[in-house]
Structure 1
């Protein structure tokens, strides 16, 4: 069974398309358990954020990809053809590398964004809790976390504060010359909004209000920055008094509508409000952007700010890419070794079965008065013939078909020296075998297997 990734992200689709196909957090567990019954599906995890929705799959890609696409659309009541051209697929080592790049922030809108590692961990935890992960995905995610930690430790990719939250506050600083005299309303109290609050505080904003569905969570965040906490229902009432609104919740419906914002603008006597909607699906109705004195931006509008900060991380990103490539190769090496364990267990079991059968036969003959030496010699001869019969037949067949490398592997497997006057790979009399196969050391360095 193959490892593969099916997804859509900020590089392949607009925010409008991404929000249409995002999986609500409240549905993740049930969605995973439902999709696991698709043909060829063995293990499954999903990550759905403002920048991407990706499925991490262990299963038969050829039989289950189309089924997963159709299921995805049906689950959300969206025609799969409407987003099919935005999808990408990564398989095997490319899939492992992609997961590690995502975890390290190398595939983010903001290069090196630290929050994405927490999102990947949450995706794994949700899938593990739903019972849809197994040996392969568990090993993959743990390996990805290890590589991400090494990237953070060994490179400078995380030294400068560059994130969607930072970009949003940076844009606000371009609009307002003196942030110390501005007030801000934060809609949501998750990890992204914690970063927003930190950057606002560093920019000098001292008047912050946090609106959230859970008032307790809002109070925890507001308390850290000497702000106030309100419920989501009270958010429209707060609008007339604020200059900056930044939103990022997990709501499936907009929190702020055009009507509420219009009323607030009139009460403010048309003093401008700067708004950034970091959520997917969006928390602020797109029509709000058409109002005079409202400057509304989405995550896709932050590209220019983000690009300015990308330059400082490009050198570190090259180092990180190298570590990711190493990590992906190492993971695939371990995965193939895991496959070998299954085969070796089966091989050992079959050999032990033959051994036990011959031993029982010899013991019965011995109990009947047979000569011990004769019985031992007979058992040894029979075991030798049975152990060597199938390999001998297959080697002769392979050699006759021109697959002379099989004899080289036979010698390597049994630690046999090359025949006198031969190189490691003797080739064939007609010269069809051109080069010697790589040794295990060479092989694992170039392409671990």
Structure 2
């Protein structure tokens, strides 16, 4: 069975194109219904995230051109507009690609874990729409197993590789149980939004978001059940928070030493963890000199990030080896299954020939034939029927110069070549 993957991702296309080929949940049923009909594929899967859209098809033929036309048509695009931004993987390359995606090796952030969950959701959705069969189901399940090995046997996902992630990871060095801590996020841009997600994943449940515009602060805070405030209200709430992470475009510091000193007195010197991601800085450098304040800047984080990127690159090489092994294991499984199917057909045909010759012999016996004659006729007829087609094909192959067929026949039946002068069994008889 042929396997095909056609996709578009953050490396091949800008977001303006990626968002146009994304599949919304509301249209998934329609997509699965049309996809197999348009391509002739027997099985299908769809992965659609902010960074990639990938289609997985299994069938008897290579349907890449039809698949591209369908993808473009489904999203009201010209196929020519997608030709230069798509990638296509076939068979073993498609297997390898899916495993690399699941392990986070093809992600914008090397080793990020979210993609594995997204791929599992894609598989569940395909099953929900009865779009997968034995082949794709086996591939998805094996892929998840390989990705799990990559996660458990390498350090691919252990170290943060973004400023936002590094900030939250460093907070763990100060606070062991972050579910007890309240966070103040200053700013409401993409970096702070990412910080908020990482904090929530780390266990933080109490959020305060301060921003120049209250509406934006409230929108972000409400995602996590928190509260939004304007920047001028920060001193009123500073004593109640434990974690402060700031990233704004302000040309002047937002949080000064005096405000932090006053808050520390109210807190009875319980420690602060602060990260100033902004350039120019949002928090006065003098704040870092205060007792019980752990203040880090973006420069402090950069060294951590660079070290962790190098660490992940080493883990990525280990992951590639695991994936290569996983691809080979999957292909071996397919060959074993194909051998079983072939042997079933082979046995079924042999049994049909046997039954036909047996019935012929029984009819002869019922008509009064000599038993010995009928038995010899059965043996001769069965032998001829079993050997006729293989003999014909071997002679044809040898005439075409494919001598390996004869070699395989000798290996298959463990035959030893007869001496030219030695009579065959028939001649001996």
TM-score above 0.5:
yes
CA deviations on 1:274-320 (whole Å, 9 max, x unpaired) are xxxxxxxxxxxxxxxxxxxxxxxxxxxxx999777422211111111
5 Å matches for 1:183-194? 183=186, 194=197
Aligned equivalent of 1:405? 404
Q: CA offset at residue 152 of structure 1?
A: 1.4
Aligned equivalent of 1:91? 90
The reply to whether residue 19 of structure 1 matches residue 19 of structure 2 is yes
Q: Secondary structure at the match of 1:7?
A: strand
Aligned equivalent of 1:195? 198
Q: CA offset at residue 149 of structure 1?
A: 1.1
Aligned equivalent of 2:375? 376
- Contact map agreement 2:47 2:118 (CA 8 A) in 1: yes
Aligned equivalent of 2:35? 35
Aligned equivalent of 1:207? 208
Q: Secondary structure at the match of 2:6?
A: strand
Query: Residues 368 and 317 (structure 1 numbering): CA distance in 2 closer, same or farther, change over 3 Å?
Result: same
Query: Residues 357 and 200 (structure 1 numbering): CA distance in 2 closer, same or farther, change over 3 Å?
Result: closer
Distance, in Å, in 1 between the alignment partners of 2:308 and 2:28 is 33
- Contact map agreement 2:168 2:195 (CA 8 A) in 1: no
- Contact map agreement 1:182 1:242 (CA 8 A) in 2: no
Distance, in Å, in 1 between the alignment partners of 2:33 and 2:232 is 43
Aligned equivalent of 1:152? 151
Aligned equivalent of 1:47? 47
Distance, in Å, in 2 between the alignment partners of 1:128 and 1:24 is 17
Q: CA offset at residue 347 of structure 1?
A: 2.0
- Contact map agreement 1:6 1:54 (CA 8 A) in 2: yes
Q: Secondary structure at the match of 2:112?
A: coil
Aligned equivalent of 2:268? none
- Contact map agreement 1:4 1:95 (CA 8 A) in 2: yes
Q: Where does structure 1 lack aligned partners over 5 or more consecutive residues?
A: 171-178, 210-217, 230-237, 244-264, 273-302, 422-449
RMSD: 3.9
Aligned length, in residue pairs: 337
Distance, in Å, in 1 between the alignment partners of 2:199 and 2:18 is 22
Distance, in Å, in 2 between the alignment partners of 1:399 and 1:200 is 71
The reply to whether residue 335 of structure 1 matches residue 331 of structure 2 is no
Distance, in Å, in 2 between the alignment partners of 1:388 and 1:136 is 34
The more displaced of 92-101 and 307-316 is: 307-316
Aligned equivalent of 2:289? none
Aligned equivalent of 1:234? none
Distance, in Å, in 2 between the alignment partners of 1:20 and 1:30 is 17
Q: CA offset at residue 413 of structure 1?
A: 1.3
Query: Residues 322 and 31 (structure 1 numbering): CA distance in 2 closer, same or farther, change over 3 Å?
Result: same
Q: Secondary structure at the match of 2:54?
A: strand
Q: CA offset at residue 184 of structure 1?
A: 6.8
Q: Secondary structure at the match of 2:19?
A: helix
Distance, in Å, in 1 between the alignment partners of 2:30 and 2:232 is 39
- Contact map agreement 2:2 2:60 (CA 8 A) in 1: yes
CA deviations on 1:90-122 (whole Å, 9 max, x unpaired) are 110000000011111111111111111101100
- Contact map agreement 1:180 1:206 (CA 8 A) in 2: yes
- Contact map agreement 2:104 2:112 (CA 8 A) in 1: yes
Aligned equivalent of 1:182? 185
Aligned equivalent of 1:5? 5
Q: CA offset at residue 194 of structure 1?
A: 4.6
Q: CA offset at residue 333 of structure 1?
A: 1.9
5 Å matches for 1:311-330? 311-330=310-329
Which of the two has higher C-alpha Rg? Answer: 2
Distance, in Å, in 1 between the alignment partners of 2:342 and 2:362 is 30
Distance, in Å, in 2 between the alignment partners of 1:140 and 1:45 is 11
Query: Residues 361 and 60 (structure 1 numbering): CA distance in 2 closer, same or farther, change over 3 Å?
Result: closer
Q: CA offset at residue 145 of structure 1?
A: 0.6
TM-score, reference length from structure 1? 0.66
Say which structure, 1 or 2, has more relative contact order (CA 8 Å, 6+ apart): 1
Distance, in Å, in 2 between the alignment partners of 1:24 and 1:239 is 34
- Contact map agreement 2:207 2:226 (CA 8 A) in 1: no
Distance, in Å, in 1 between the alignment partners of 2:49 and 2:196 is 14
CA deviations on 1:388-422 (whole Å, 9 max, x unpaired) are 1111121112112211111111011112246679x
Distance, in Å, in 1 between the alignment partners of 2:55 and 2:134 is 17
Q: CA offset at residue 373 of structure 1?
A: 2.0
Q: CA offset at residue 80 of structure 1?
A: 2.5
Q: Secondary structure at the match of 2:42?
A: strand
Q: CA offset at residue 31 of structure 1?
A: 0.9
Q: CA offset at residue 83 of structure 1?
A: 2.5
TM-score, reference length from structure 2? 0.69
